Chains A and B, each alone.
Chain A
Amino acid sequence: GESVGLHLPTLSVQEGDNSIINCAYSNSASDYFIWYKQESGKGPQFIIDIRSNMDKRQGQRVTVLLNKTVKHLSLQIAATQPGDSAVYFCAENTGSGDKLTFGTGTRLAVRP
């Protein structure tokens, strides 16, 4: 039969607009979360992290929001630029051991 790959959701935004990328996690015991950016042909690159005792953290042009009640994580990118075009992954540490579990990713496409 025909193999089916992961369907990556795609977010298309106009250059200069703000982007919001969402991630749902499943393990209520997760206590540390990271957003990674992966450009074509490269490895994932750290963007920002947040611990479970926080609900918001800001970096340069990026903000991560954590809602533990509904197990939801979001990444906000202000004034999106063409260089922001990539696949964005959320990753969680489930509290057991040292490993990160990655989500399936969201592709961000920036229209000029």
Chain B
Amino acid sequence: DAGVIQSPRHEVTEMGQEVTLRCKPISGHDYLFWYRQTMMRGLELLIYFNNNVPIDDSGMPEDRFSAKMPNASFSTLKIQPSEPRDSAVYFCASSLGGKNTEAFFGQGTRLTVV
């Protein structure tokens, strides 16, 4: 397996534009996590899914952020409209089971909003 695949690797966009980040989890993994990493706040969990269903979105910063998982092999994180403070590295991770199992991370998407 190629691991968790994220696209794009880098995204530069203007403030106010819509941004969509994409993730393909490892095949067979039932859990998918979206994290955000910044110098200010470190690595924060935004939302996670189990069997394509959102379980906990308490980490989503505000209504401008939304995430979907239409099937077991694809998830998106959308920011609309984007703001400069959204600039960060966004990671997707997946795991075989949820509790007490390791999560495998993708390479991340570095988002810069100017």
Task: Report which A residues bind B (CB closer than 8 A).
Answer: 3-6, 31-32, 34, 36, 41-46, 49, 51, 89, 93, 97-105
Contact = CB atoms under 8 A, between A and B. Distances in A.
Given A6-B39, A6-B41, A102-B42, A44 B99 contact: no
B96 to A, nearest CB: 11
B106 A100 contact: no
Contacts of B114: none
Contact of B43 (A3, A44, A51): A44
A6 B91 contact: no
Top 8 closest pairs, chain A to chain B, by CB? A98-B98, A43-B105, A5-B39, A32-B100, A102-B43, A46-B102, A98-B99, A44-B105
A98 B48 contact: yes
A98 B51 CA distance: 13
Interface of B: 4, 31, 33, 39-45, 48, 50, 55-56, 91, 93, 95, 97-100, 102-108
Nearest to B6: A43
Looking at chain A's contact residues, the main secondary structure is loop
Name, among B4, B42, B43, B105, the residue most crowded by chain A CB atoms within 10 Å (CB to CB). Answer: B43
A83 B4 CA distance: 23
Contacts of B95: 98
Contact of B107 (A32, A36, A42, A51): A42
Nearest to A5: B39
A44 B44 CA distance: 13
Contacts of B45: 99-101
9 contacts: A4-B40, A5-B39, A31-B100, A93-B100, A98-B98, A98-B99, A99-B56, A101-B45, A104-B42
A51 B102 CA distance: 12
A46 B106 CA distance: 12
A60 to B, nearest CB: 16
Nearest to A33: B100
